[in-house]
Amino acid sequence: MADSVCRKCRSKFDNWERKTKEDFAEFMDKKNFEEIIDEEIAECGIQTDAIEQTVEIPIKRTSASHRTCFVRQKTDGCSSKVLSAEEQKLVFIKRGIVVSPGSRCCRDHLYGKHLTFEALHQIVPTKTEPVVFDAKGIMNSITECCTMIQDTKTFDFDDPTSLDDEAYYNLTGLEKDMIDQFDNLLSTLTSMRNFYVRSIRVGLALFLVKMRLGVSNRVLSSLFRMKNKRVVFRIVHAIAEGLLKNFVPKHLGFQHIDRRTVLDRHQTLIASQLMADRDDQVILVMDGTYLFIQKSSSNQFQRRSFSMHKHRNLIKPMITTATVSVSSLQVEFNCV
């Protein structure tokens, strides 16, 4: 059914159209109307470009050289590698230093494609240059920062600032800020080097978390974002070998300390007065206890560590120690 308009309304519309026809004449042609709209949009774009502002910021920058390591700032003849774009952004976010594209560093400063924590803090800028940023550039930088934060590892031990002292103690059993216990232990592993899948720092942290919490290798591979549990096993084995080679000889056994040092630094006055007959006599404390262990996959070790008295697998260490904080550990196996 068609709509109908009364004669009175139709007359009012005709009068209005006659009076305003000249005012809207330029819009009656559709093509002319579209051209007018395009011109107005173009004028708005010109005004927007005219008021767009930029900011100039002085940025620290490293040298761009394929022959010089940008970390050490010298050529030492060792093999070098170009730093990836992701690591360049990481250096800028954490240190505020721009690594020039194509810059190279020694492989000792890398594990995989990542800079070690020590190398990151050894970078020294060679010059400062003004860099102009516009709105688009600033937005891109913010987006990249957000992406990197989302991709951060669960436990980033390569960046000690990402974990506080309480977190270090809860995970590894060592204090980060108390005389740098973790770093002191790390410094003893002189025979180890960084590998593709982990740095020495991450390997030591993984080993300590394993010893303190007793979680499975599968869980550790998820926490530290390793490929699988076999990688975790190899890392734990390598760290254990490194500690046995570098740390244990300096802190356990009779050979790591001399008699005079024990008398001067590790023997209490009360022990000397109660037990010693002369001034140069060393007082030692010896104690043995049981340490229960799980069954070993090695049949020979399982038979040697099984106690017929306790009916469990165990080891019985005999600890020989001075009266103050020095010990020598000897382990005896039970025989069937």
Q: Give the pLDDT mean for 53-58.
A: 76
- Tell me what the mean pLDDT of segment 155-176 comes to: 74
Q: What is the DSSP string of 181-201?
A: HHHHHHHT-TT----SS--HH
The pLDDT value given to residue 222: 85
pLDDT for the residue 1: 47
Distance CA 200, CA 186 (A): 8
Q: Is residue 12 part of a domain?
A: no
- Give the pLDDT of residue 295: 84
Amino acid in position 187: S
Quickly list DSSP for 255-323.
Answer: GGS-HHHHHHHS--HHHHHHH-SSTT---EEEEE--EE-PPPS-HHHHHHHEETTTTEEEEEEEEEEES
- Output the pLDDT for position 314: 92
Answer whether residue 332 shows pLDDT above 50. Answer: no
Copy the structure tokens of residue 88. 């360049």
Distance (Å) of CA 326 to CA 86, 277, 308:
47, 22, 32
Indicate the pLDDT class of residue 207, thresholds 50, 70 and 90: very high
Report which of 129, 120, 128 is spatially closest to residue 70, judged by C-alpha positions: 120
User: Within this chain, do residues 246 and 270 fall inside the same structural domain, yes or no?
Assistant: no
Residues 204, 227: Cα–Cα separation, whole Å: 17
Segment 199-216 shows an average pLDDT of 87
- What average pLDDT does the segment 214-236 reach? 87
Task: Answer with the one of 99, 121, 150 that is the final residue of a domain.
Answer: 150
Q: Which two tokens stand for residue 101?
A: 């594209």
Backbone angles phi, psi at 135, to 5 degrees: -60, -40
pLDDT tens-digit readout, 253-278: 778 888 888 888 888 888 888 888 88
Q: CA-to-CA distance for 81 and 170, rounded, in angstroms?
A: 37
Comparing 74-78, 184-188, 257-261, 303-307, the range with the smallest average pLDDT is 74-78
Say whether both 208 and 290 belong to one domain. Answer: no
| The pLDDT value given to residue 237 | 92
The whole-number pLDDT of residue 11 equals 79
* Residue 91 in this model has a pLDDT that exceeds 60: yes
Task: Pick the range with the lowest mean pLDDT from 121-130, 208-217, 288-297.
Answer: 121-130
Task: Give the three-state DSSP class for 321.
Answer: strand
Token pair in block for residue 24: 């809207």
Query: In this model, does residue 5 exceed pLDDT 70?
Result: no
* 245 and 306 in a common domain: no
Residue 119's nearest CA partner among 135, 99, 133 is: 99
Model confidence at 3, pLDDT cuts 50, 70, 90, reads low
Confidence of residue 306 (pLDDT cuts 50, 70, 90): very high
Query: Are 62 and 103 spatial neighbours (Cβ–Cβ below 8 Å)?
Result: yes
Are 271 and 244 in the same domain?
no
Residue 143 and residue 106 in one domain: yes
Is the pLDDT higher at 164 or at 27?
164
73 and 140 in a single domain? The answer is yes
pLDDT of residue 163: 73
Residue ending a domain, among 98, 120, 150, is 150
pLDDT for position 44:
57
**Mean local confidence (pLDDT), 225-248:** 89
Which residues constitute the domain of residue 132? 55-150
Per cent of the chain over pLDDT 70 is 75
Residues linked to residue 133 through DSSP beta bridges, in sequence order: 55
pLDDT at 28 over 60: no
- Residue 112 in domain: yes
**The total number of structural domains that make up the chain:** 3
* pLDDT (0 to 100) of residue 50: 45
- Worst-scoring range by mean pLDDT, 21-30, 100-109, 133-142, 290-299? 21-30
The answer to whether the CB of 25 falls within 8 A of the CB of 64 is: no
How many Å is the Cα radius of gyration of the chain? 37
Same domain? For 61 and 144 the reply is yes
Q: What is the mean pLDDT of residues 132-156?
A: 70
Average model confidence (pLDDT) across the chain:
76
Whether residues 202 and 141 share a domain: the answer is: no
Q: Is residue 135 part of a domain?
A: yes
Tokens describing residue 71:
């970390």
d(CA 119, CA 105): 9
Question: How many Cβ atoms sit within 10 Å of the Cβ of residue 217?
Answer: 18
What is the phi/psi pair of residue 279, to 5°? -70, -30
Give the span between the Cα atoms of 299 and 59, in whole angstroms.
64
In a domain, 19, yes or no: no
Residue 181 lies in a domain: yes
Side chain identity at residue 120, one-letter code: L
Q: Judge whether 32 lies within some domain.
A: no
Q: Is pLDDT above 50 for 336?
A: no
- Kindly state whether residues 247 and 259 are assigned to the same domain: no
What is the C-alpha to C-alpha distance for residues 162 and 168, in angstroms, rounded to an integer? 10
For range 216-242, the mean pLDDT: 88
pLDDT-derived band at 333, boundaries 50, 70, 90: very low
Residues 135 and 166 in one domain: no
The answer for residues whose C-beta is within 8 angstroms of residue 129's C-beta and 6 or more apart is 58, 59, 61
Mean pLDDT over 142-156 rounds to 67
Question: Is 45 part of any domain?
Answer: no
| Residue 159 reports pLDDT greater than 60 | yes
Where residue 123 falls among pLDDT bands split at 50, 70, 90?
A: confident
What DSSP state is assigned to residue 108?
A: G
Which residues lie closer than 8 Å to 157 by C-beta, 6 or more apart? 163, 201, 202, 205
Supply the angle between the helices 135-150 and 85-95 in degrees, to the nearest 10: 100
Q: How far is CA 41 from CA 21, 23, 31, 34, 136, in A?
A: 26, 22, 16, 11, 21
Residue finishing a domain among 233, 251, 269: 251
| 70 φ/ψ angles, rounded to the nearest 5 degrees | -75, -10
Domain membership flag for residue 25: no
